[in-house]
Amino acid sequence: MAKPLILVTNDDGITAPGLRALIRFMKEIGDVIVVAPNSPQSGMGHAITIDSTLYIEEETINREDGAIAEYSCSGTPADCVKLGLRELLDRKPDLCVSGINHGSNSSINVIYSGTMSAAIEAGIEGIPAIGFSLCDFSWNANFEPAKEAIQQIVRQALEHGIPKGVVLNVNIPKTKTASPKGIKICRQARANWKEKFDKRISPNGKEYYWLTGEFELLDNGEDTDEHALSKGFIAVVPTQFDLTAYHAIHRLNNWKLND
Protein backbone atom coordinates (compact mmCIF):
# COMPACT_ATOMS: atom_id res chain seq x y z
CA MET A 1 0.00 0.00 0.00
CA ALA A 2 1.38 3.41 -0.97
CA LYS A 3 2.34 5.76 1.82
CA PRO A 4 0.34 8.96 2.18
CA LEU A 5 1.95 12.07 0.72
CA ILE A 6 2.30 14.81 3.33
CA LEU A 7 3.07 18.42 2.45
CA VAL A 8 4.95 20.13 5.29
CA THR A 9 5.20 23.90 5.60
CA ASN A 10 5.47 26.63 8.25
CA ASP A 11 5.93 30.35 8.84
CA ASP A 12 9.13 30.38 10.91
CA GLY A 13 11.29 29.49 7.92
CA ILE A 14 12.78 26.36 6.42
CA THR A 15 15.60 26.08 8.98
CA ALA A 16 13.34 26.47 12.04
CA PRO A 17 13.71 23.66 14.60
CA GLY A 18 9.93 23.25 14.79
CA LEU A 19 9.73 22.50 11.08
CA ARG A 20 12.67 20.10 11.27
CA ALA A 21 10.94 18.24 14.12
CA LEU A 22 7.65 18.04 12.20
CA ILE A 23 9.46 16.60 9.16
CA ARG A 24 10.99 13.88 11.33
CA PHE A 25 7.63 13.08 12.93
CA MET A 26 5.86 12.91 9.56
CA LYS A 27 8.44 10.72 7.82
CA GLU A 28 7.41 7.91 10.19
CA ILE A 29 3.88 8.15 8.77
CA GLY A 30 4.25 8.96 5.08
CA ASP A 31 6.28 10.44 2.25
CA VAL A 32 7.18 14.03 2.99
CA ILE A 33 7.72 17.03 0.73
CA VAL A 34 8.61 20.41 2.22
CA VAL A 35 7.81 23.88 0.89
CA ALA A 36 8.59 26.58 3.43
CA PRO A 37 9.59 30.27 3.51
CA ASN A 38 13.26 31.08 3.07
CA SER A 39 13.04 33.51 6.01
CA PRO A 40 10.75 33.99 9.03
CA GLN A 41 7.20 35.04 8.10
CA SER A 42 5.46 35.09 11.49
CA GLY A 43 2.34 37.22 11.79
CA MET A 44 1.83 37.39 8.03
CA GLY A 45 -1.69 36.00 8.26
CA HIS A 46 -3.04 35.04 4.84
CA ALA A 47 -0.94 37.53 2.89
CA ILE A 48 0.05 36.58 -0.65
CA THR A 49 2.63 38.08 -2.96
CA ILE A 50 1.11 40.02 -5.86
CA ASP A 51 3.47 42.97 -6.38
CA SER A 52 6.84 41.23 -6.76
CA THR A 53 8.38 38.04 -8.12
CA LEU A 54 8.51 34.75 -6.29
CA TYR A 55 11.50 32.42 -6.18
CA ILE A 56 11.83 28.76 -5.27
CA GLU A 57 15.10 27.01 -4.45
CA GLU A 58 15.64 23.31 -3.88
CA GLU A 59 17.32 22.82 -0.53
CA THR A 60 19.33 20.23 1.34
CA ILE A 61 18.97 21.31 4.96
CA ASN A 62 19.28 17.91 6.61
CA ARG A 63 18.60 14.82 4.53
CA GLU A 64 18.52 12.78 7.73
CA ASP A 65 15.20 14.47 8.48
CA GLY A 66 13.74 12.29 5.76
CA ALA A 67 11.98 14.54 3.26
CA ILE A 68 11.65 13.44 -0.36
CA ALA A 69 12.46 16.98 -1.44
CA GLU A 70 12.68 20.37 0.20
CA TYR A 71 12.07 23.78 -1.33
CA SER A 72 12.43 27.26 0.09
CA CYS A 73 10.17 30.02 -1.17
CA SER A 74 10.72 33.76 -1.14
CA GLY A 75 7.05 34.39 -0.39
CA THR A 76 4.58 34.01 2.43
CA PRO A 77 3.31 30.78 4.01
CA ALA A 78 0.20 30.92 1.80
CA ASP A 79 2.46 31.43 -1.24
CA CYS A 80 4.40 28.30 -0.26
CA VAL A 81 1.28 26.17 -0.36
CA LYS A 82 0.02 27.71 -3.59
CA LEU A 83 3.34 27.18 -5.37
CA GLY A 84 3.79 23.73 -3.90
CA LEU A 85 0.43 22.55 -5.19
CA ARG A 86 0.64 24.26 -8.58
CA GLU A 87 4.31 23.93 -9.50
CA LEU A 88 6.15 21.35 -7.40
CA LEU A 89 3.90 18.40 -6.59
CA ASP A 90 2.96 15.90 -9.26
CA ARG A 91 -0.07 14.72 -7.29
CA LYS A 92 -2.41 16.08 -4.67
CA PRO A 93 -1.11 15.49 -1.15
CA ASP A 94 -3.15 13.44 1.26
CA LEU A 95 -2.50 15.91 4.06
CA CYS A 96 -0.86 19.27 4.69
CA VAL A 97 0.70 20.00 8.07
CA SER A 98 2.04 23.40 9.07
CA GLY A 99 4.44 24.14 11.94
CA ILE A 100 5.49 23.30 14.48
CA ASN A 101 5.19 27.00 15.26
CA HIS A 102 7.43 28.55 17.89
CA GLY A 103 4.69 30.16 20.00
CA SER A 104 0.96 29.91 20.57
CA ASN A 105 -1.67 30.30 17.87
CA SER A 106 -4.60 29.76 20.21
CA SER A 107 -7.62 32.02 20.56
CA ILE A 108 -7.47 35.32 18.62
CA ASN A 109 -3.87 34.60 17.57
CA VAL A 110 -5.21 32.34 14.81
CA ILE A 111 -6.26 35.47 12.87
CA TYR A 112 -2.67 36.69 12.55
CA SER A 113 -0.98 33.33 12.20
CA GLY A 114 1.08 32.50 9.13
CA THR A 115 1.23 28.91 10.36
CA MET A 116 -2.53 28.56 10.29
CA SER A 117 -2.91 30.52 7.06
CA ALA A 118 -0.70 28.00 5.29
CA ALA A 119 -2.93 25.20 6.57
CA ILE A 120 -6.06 27.15 5.65
CA GLU A 121 -4.74 27.68 2.11
CA ALA A 122 -4.45 23.92 1.78
CA GLY A 123 -7.94 23.52 3.19
CA ILE A 124 -9.31 25.94 0.62
CA GLU A 125 -7.80 23.65 -2.03
CA GLY A 126 -9.68 20.69 -0.57
CA ILE A 127 -6.68 19.15 1.18
CA PRO A 128 -7.07 18.01 4.80
CA ALA A 129 -4.84 20.31 6.83
CA ILE A 130 -3.57 20.82 10.37
CA GLY A 131 -1.59 23.64 11.95
CA PHE A 132 0.61 22.74 14.93
CA SER A 133 1.95 25.27 17.45
CA LEU A 134 3.94 24.88 20.66
CA CYS A 135 3.40 27.49 23.37
CA ASP A 136 7.12 28.20 23.61
CA PHE A 137 8.72 31.03 21.65
CA SER A 138 12.26 29.78 22.27
CA TRP A 139 14.26 28.82 19.18
CA ASN A 140 15.55 25.87 21.23
CA ALA A 141 12.09 24.71 22.35
CA ASN A 142 11.70 20.99 23.06
CA PHE A 143 9.21 19.47 20.58
CA GLU A 144 9.86 15.83 21.46
CA PRO A 145 7.32 15.49 24.32
CA ALA A 146 4.52 16.23 21.84
CA LYS A 147 5.67 13.76 19.17
CA GLU A 148 3.31 10.92 20.08
CA ALA A 149 0.26 13.19 20.29
CA ILE A 150 1.09 14.95 17.00
CA GLN A 151 1.44 11.61 15.23
CA GLN A 152 -1.80 10.36 16.79
CA ILE A 153 -3.72 13.40 15.52
CA VAL A 154 -2.21 13.03 12.04
CA ARG A 155 -2.98 9.32 11.83
CA GLN A 156 -6.57 9.90 12.91
CA ALA A 157 -6.93 12.66 10.31
CA LEU A 158 -5.62 10.36 7.59
CA GLU A 159 -7.86 7.50 8.69
CA HIS A 160 -11.10 9.38 9.32
CA GLY A 161 -10.64 12.57 7.31
CA ILE A 162 -11.32 16.14 8.40
CA PRO A 163 -14.76 17.66 7.76
CA LYS A 164 -14.97 19.62 4.52
CA GLY A 165 -14.25 23.31 4.99
CA VAL A 166 -12.51 22.70 8.32
CA VAL A 167 -8.84 23.00 9.27
CA LEU A 168 -7.53 21.86 12.64
CA ASN A 169 -5.73 24.37 14.85
CA VAL A 170 -3.62 22.37 17.31
CA ASN A 171 -1.86 24.12 20.19
CA ILE A 172 0.50 22.27 22.50
CA PRO A 173 1.31 23.38 26.06
CA LYS A 174 4.92 24.06 26.98
CA THR A 175 6.43 21.21 28.97
CA LYS A 176 10.06 20.67 29.89
CA THR A 177 10.21 16.90 29.62
CA ALA A 178 6.80 15.36 30.36
CA SER A 179 4.28 14.71 27.61
CA PRO A 180 1.04 16.72 27.59
CA LYS A 181 -1.73 15.31 29.79
CA GLY A 182 -3.92 14.48 26.79
CA ILE A 183 -5.83 15.95 23.88
CA LYS A 184 -9.06 17.96 24.09
CA ILE A 185 -11.37 19.12 21.30
CA CYS A 186 -12.14 22.76 22.08
CA ARG A 187 -13.67 25.97 20.89
CA GLN A 188 -11.64 29.12 20.32
CA ALA A 189 -11.53 31.27 23.45
CA ARG A 190 -12.72 34.86 23.26
CA ALA A 191 -9.71 37.08 23.80
CA ASN A 192 -7.96 40.13 22.47
CA TRP A 193 -4.64 41.90 22.51
CA LYS A 194 -4.44 45.12 24.52
CA GLU A 195 -1.99 46.72 22.17
CA LYS A 196 0.49 49.51 22.73
CA PHE A 197 3.10 51.11 20.52
CA ASP A 198 6.51 51.88 21.94
CA LYS A 199 7.48 55.16 20.29
CA ARG A 200 11.18 55.81 19.81
CA ILE A 201 13.49 58.18 17.97
CA SER A 202 16.10 56.91 15.50
CA PRO A 203 19.68 58.32 15.44
CA ASN A 204 18.68 60.56 12.53
CA GLY A 205 15.77 61.98 14.50
CA LYS A 206 12.94 60.06 12.82
CA GLU A 207 10.10 58.61 14.89
CA TYR A 208 9.49 54.86 14.77
CA TYR A 209 7.35 52.36 16.67
CA TRP A 210 7.56 48.86 18.16
CA LEU A 211 4.29 46.99 18.62
CA THR A 212 3.82 45.67 22.16
CA GLY A 213 0.82 44.50 24.12
CA GLU A 214 -0.77 42.19 26.64
CA PHE A 215 -2.98 39.18 25.94
CA GLU A 216 -6.43 39.73 27.43
CA LEU A 217 -8.55 36.62 28.01
CA LEU A 218 -12.26 37.46 27.96
CA ASP A 219 -13.60 33.94 28.38
CA ASN A 220 -13.99 31.83 31.53
CA GLY A 221 -15.35 28.79 29.70
CA GLU A 222 -13.87 25.39 30.48
CA ASP A 223 -14.37 24.19 26.91
CA THR A 224 -11.87 26.60 25.32
CA ASP A 225 -8.39 26.17 23.93
CA GLU A 226 -6.94 28.54 26.53
CA HIS A 227 -8.45 26.55 29.41
CA ALA A 228 -7.18 23.24 28.01
CA LEU A 229 -3.67 24.63 27.56
CA SER A 230 -3.65 26.07 31.08
CA LYS A 231 -4.38 22.57 32.42
CA GLY A 232 -1.59 20.94 30.41
CA PHE A 233 -3.71 19.50 27.58
CA ILE A 234 -3.25 19.84 23.82
CA ALA A 235 -6.08 21.94 22.38
CA VAL A 236 -7.59 21.00 19.01
CA VAL A 237 -9.94 23.62 17.55
CA PRO A 238 -11.82 22.90 14.30
CA THR A 239 -11.42 26.15 12.37
CA GLN A 240 -13.43 27.17 9.32
CA PHE A 241 -12.49 29.58 6.56
CA ASP A 242 -16.08 30.48 5.70
CA LEU A 243 -16.26 33.72 7.70
CA THR A 244 -19.98 34.30 7.19
CA ALA A 245 -21.79 35.14 10.43
CA TYR A 246 -24.90 33.15 9.57
CA HIS A 247 -26.65 34.06 12.81
CA ALA A 248 -26.56 37.74 11.80
CA ILE A 249 -28.20 37.39 8.38
CA HIS A 250 -31.78 37.47 9.70
CA ARG A 251 -31.09 40.55 11.80
CA LEU A 252 -29.47 42.41 8.93
CA ASN A 253 -32.39 41.53 6.68
CA ASN A 254 -34.53 43.69 8.97
CA TRP A 255 -32.53 46.77 8.03
CA LYS A 256 -34.33 49.18 5.67
CA LEU A 257 -31.82 48.98 2.86
CA ASN A 258 -34.02 49.09 -0.23
CA ASP A 259 -36.60 51.69 0.78
Sheet with 31-37, edge to edge strand ranges: 56-59, 69-73, 31-37, 5-9, 95-102, 129-134, 166-172, 234-240, 183-185
- What's at 130, amino acid-wise? I
Peptide bond into 111 cis (omega under 30): no
Q: Is residue 140 marked as binding? A: no
Write out the DSSP string of 13-82: -TT-HHHHHHHHHHHTTSEEEEEEESS--TT-TT----SS---EEEE-S-GGG--SEEEEESS-HHHHHH
Contact 173, 233 (CB under 8 A): yes
Contact 115, 133 (CB under 8 A): yes
Alpha-carbon distances, residue 50 vs 33, 36, 72, 74 (angstroms): 25, 18, 18, 12
Contact 206, 140 (CB under 8 A): no
Q: Is residue 11 marked as binding? A: yes
Closest Cα partner for 168 from 148, 181, 185?
Answer: 185
Q: Coil, strand, or helix at residue 248?
A: helix
Q: Is residue 136 marked as binding? A: no
Q: Is residue 12 marked as binding? A: yes
Q: Which residues are annotated as a binding site for a divalent metal cation?
A: 11-12, 42, 101
Q: Which residues are annotated as a binding site?
A: 11-12, 42, 101
